[in-house]
């Protein structure tokens, strides 16, 4: 059986990752075999790496070329440039369900496409769940990260007044250019209620976001960058007269193909920036991990997997 190179979880290795070999993927009837040109890294994947089994292959974001079309006739033909949300993408080849991928327009570099799945799908679907944002005040916390930067662009495109909250002044660079009407450090200077919150921080930030929410408003709770800090709501603090306020969780990444097609179409037309802040060979993976976990880069880190993808 042939093998492919991959990045494997190993608690004894630097940054808990090492190169190794895994069996070549065997696609099921509704799966395409994709040669991986680029894979992007997300903060959450790295933070929880040690909770995964030894030898597991991480990664959700991938862009490359179809080597073998799905046996059931679904999906693109061999040679198609594609982007996908899948599991175990930090490898030379991956089998991907055809409803989890989309073809990439020629105008969009594959490296940019690889940066879109997790952050783009999260931003798109949480905004969609919040309903129309036209004319509404939308607060995005943790706005300097990949999800936040995508959400700023999509919310502005939807007609919202966008408030981007970041952890420090330097983290807010570039957010106005992406469409933020206000860039604030923390939440203390937000002096008017907001209609929608895309909440990426958790902990006390979530409580503060709730207190800023107007009657009838909604919070889409996405991430928990506050690590082990709890969100403690004082007694009666969730009471609000008038239309009900709501708090929703997000984890739905099912059947991402159609929404991936929307995202790459917007990016190809220059209406959505992939915000790639670090890009390099996967041989430099330790550098990429340090940059992401150290919060030294805004946006996404993209690994070049094959020579053709560089």
**pLDDT one-digit tens code per residue, 102-158:** 999 999 999 999 999 999 999 999 999 999 999 999 999 999 999 999 999 999 999
pLDDT above 70: residue 278:
yes
What one-character DSSP code corresponds to residue 145?
A: S
Report, as an integer, the average pLDDT of 244-262: 94
Report, as an integer, the average pLDDT of 259-284: 96
- Classified as helix, coil or strand, 52 is coil
pLDDT bucket at 99, cuts 50 / 70 / 90: very high
pLDDT above 70: residue 1:
no
Give the pLDDT of residue 43.
84
Q: What percent of the chain has pLDDT over 70?
A: 98
Number of H helices, E strands in the chain: 8, 15
Distances (CA, A) of 307 to 7, 111, 303: 16, 13, 11
Q: What is the mean pLDDT of the chain?
A: 94
Give the pLDDT of residue 180.
98
Give dist(CA 221, CA 38) in Å, integer: 29
Report, as an integer, the average pLDDT of 193-211: 96
pLDDT above 70: residue 207:
yes
Report, as an integer, the average pLDDT of 211-229: 93
Between the two ends of the chain, the Cα-to-Cα distance in Å is 28
Decide: residue 156, CB within 10 A, 0-12 exposed, 13-18 middle, 19+ buried: middle
Which token pair is 105?
Answer: 């327009």
pLDDT above 90: residue 293:
no
pLDDT bucket at 226, cuts 50 / 70 / 90: confident
pLDDT above 70: residue 307:
no
Give dist(CA 192, CA 148) in Å, integer: 21
- Nearest to 149, CA basis, from 170, 133, 127, 164: 164
Report, as an integer, the average pLDDT of 58-67: 97
pLDDT bucket at 252, cuts 50 / 70 / 90: confident
Give dist(CA 266, CA 210) in Å, integer: 32
pLDDT above 60: residue 308:
no
Give the pLDDT of residue 297.
87
Give dist(CA 11, CA 16) in Å, integer: 5
What one-character DSSP code corresponds to residue 181?
A: S
pLDDT digits (tens, 9 = 90+) for 42-56: 888 887 777 789 999
pLDDT digits (tens, 9 = 90+) for 147-165: 999 999 999 999 999 999 9
pLDDT above 60: residue 310:
no
For 220-223, which contacts have Cβ atoms below 8 Å and span 24 or more sequence positions?
A: 220/126, 220/127, 220/129, 220/130, 220/196, 220/248, 220/250, 221/247, 221/248, 221/249, 221/250, 222/122, 222/126, 222/147, 222/198, 222/250, 223/44, 223/142, 223/145, 223/147, 223/199
pLDDT digits (tens, 9 = 90+) for 163-200: 999 999 998 999 999 999 999 999 999 999 999 999 99
Report, as an integer, the average pLDDT of 288-294: 91
Report, as an integer, the average pLDDT of 14-35: 95
Give the pLDDT of residue 309.
42
């Amino acid at each position: 059986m042939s093998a492919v190179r991959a990045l494997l979880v190993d608690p004894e290795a630097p940054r808990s990752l090492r190169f190794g070999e895994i069996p070549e993927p065997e696609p099921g009837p509704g799966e395409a075999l994709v040669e991986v040109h680029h894979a992007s890294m997300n903060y959450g994947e790295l933070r929880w790496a040690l909770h995964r089994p030894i030898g597991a292959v991480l990664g959700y974001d991938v862009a490359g070329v179809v080597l073998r079309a799905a046996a059931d006739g679904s999906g693109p033909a061999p040679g198609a440039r594609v982007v996908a949300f899948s599991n175990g993408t930090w490898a030379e080849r991956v089998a991907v369900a055809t409803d989890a991928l989309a073809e990439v327009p020629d105008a969009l570099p594959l490296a940019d496409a690889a940066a879109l799945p997790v952050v783009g799908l999260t931003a798109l679907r949480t905004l969609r769940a919040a309903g129309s944002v036209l004319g509404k005040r939308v607060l995005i916390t943790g706005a300097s990260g990949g999800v936040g930067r995508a959400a700023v662009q999509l919310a502005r495109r939807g007609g919202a007044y966008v408030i981007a909250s970041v952890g420090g002044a330097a983290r807010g660079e570039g957010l106005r250019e992406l469409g933020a009407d206000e860039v604030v450090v923390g939440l203390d200077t937000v002096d008017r209620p907001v209609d929608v919150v895309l909440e990426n921080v958790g902990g006390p930030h979530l409580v503060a976001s709730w207190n800023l929410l107007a009657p009838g408003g909604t919070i889409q709770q996405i991430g928990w960058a506050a690590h082990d800090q709890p969100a403690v709501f004082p007694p009666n603090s969730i009471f609000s007269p008038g239309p009900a306020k709501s708090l929703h969780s997000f984890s739905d990444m099912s059947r991402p193909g159609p929404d991936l097609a929307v995202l790459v179409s917007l990016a190809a037309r220059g209406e959505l920036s992939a915000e790639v802040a670090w890009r390099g060979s996967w041989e430099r993976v330790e550098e990429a991990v340090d940059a992401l976990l150290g919060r030294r880069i805004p946006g996404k880190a993209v690994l070049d997997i094959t020579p053709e993808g560089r």
